[in-house]
Amino acid sequence: MEAAERTERGERILDAACELLLAWGYRRVTTDEIARRADVGKGTVYLHWKTKDALLLAVVLRAKTAQHRRQLERMRADSRDILPSRLLRGALLDFVEDPVLRALYLDDSDIMGRLNDVAKKEMAELVETGNQTLRSQLADLRAHGLVREDLSVDRQMYTCLATAGGFFQAEVLFPERAPGRPEERADLLCHTIRTALETHADPDPRLTAVAAPGIIARYARLEELSRQETRRQLRQ
């Protein structure tokens, strides 16, 4: 019963932190207010998470776990979604639709940098698995002739992350210049990555179907690790 109570209490704290993050933004949220909203003592919050950064990172982790699940669903429904262009197209739409993913990313770049540092310490295995998943995905796609080989895998990884990050930031920095519908902006990101990295404008689904099982298995592992880390956070 004690473990179940700790999990329920942890979920309640996460829900409170999420509500306040969306209502107030990162800087105005305090541990005291999270505790009041969750109807627990401040010390109880620190039984689960060492710092406010660690707690709000757990809120983001919960949202990211749901995003990993949606990525898997898309890949299983259409093998062409293993391509980086289509993967990042889906990621941008997830970002636009999920208020948690938007809130911290667009609140302040310094905050994201600080939370990345916390993630490297508190969730080292998950962070490394995420990096290795993208690296192996690109390597597999290169081996199947679906991604170009004129850049190293590491440079292609950076291209994916930097380009997607720029599109995410543009959601708040340049709203007056953006096409009106999120799908149009996602299509632009897809086109940019496809032009930069991929070998086919419209690849034969039979080609992606051959490469898909290994890539999907790695993303399934990443999704499982995300769920395990979320549960571990709640049991702390």
pLDDT in tens, 190-223: 999 999 999 999 898 999 999 999 999 999 999 9
For residues 79 and 75, give the distance between their C-alpha atoms in angstroms, rounded to a whole number.
Answer: 5
Is 14 in contact with 62 (CB distance < 8 Å)? yes
- Cα(11)–Cα(14) distance, rounded to whole angstroms? 5
- Residue 142: CB atoms within 10 A of its CB come to 18
Q: Helix or strand or coil: residue 95?
A: helix
> What does the pLDDT average to over 136-140?
97
Give the residues across from 174 on adjacent strands: none
Q: What is the pLDDT of residues 170-186, one digit of tens each?
A: 877 777 787 889 999 99
Q: Output the average pLDDT for the chain.
A: 89
Note the helical H segments in 98-123.
99-107, 109-122
**CB atoms inside a 10 Å sphere around CB 182:** 15
* CB contact burial 22-35 (16+ within 10 A = b; e otherwise): eeeebeebebeebb
Model pTM score: 0.86
The predicted structure's pLDDT at residue 6:
79
Dmax (CA) of the chain: 57
pLDDT digits (tens, 9 = 90+) for 8-24: 888 999 999 999 988 88
Question: What pLDDT is stored for residue 1 in this prediction?
Answer: 42
The backbone torsions φ and ψ at residue 147, rounded to the nearest 5 degrees and listed phi first, read -125, 140
Can you read off the two tokens belonging to residue 92?
A: 């941008």
Backbone angles phi, psi at 106, to 5 degrees: -95, -10
Please report where in the chains the tokens 């109807």 appear, as a residue: 39
- Token pair of 167, please? 């599109």
- Residue type for 115, please? L
C-alpha atoms less than 13 angstroms from C-alpha of 205 in its C-beta half-sphere = 6
- Asked whether residue 114 carries a pLDDT value surpassing 80, the answer given is no
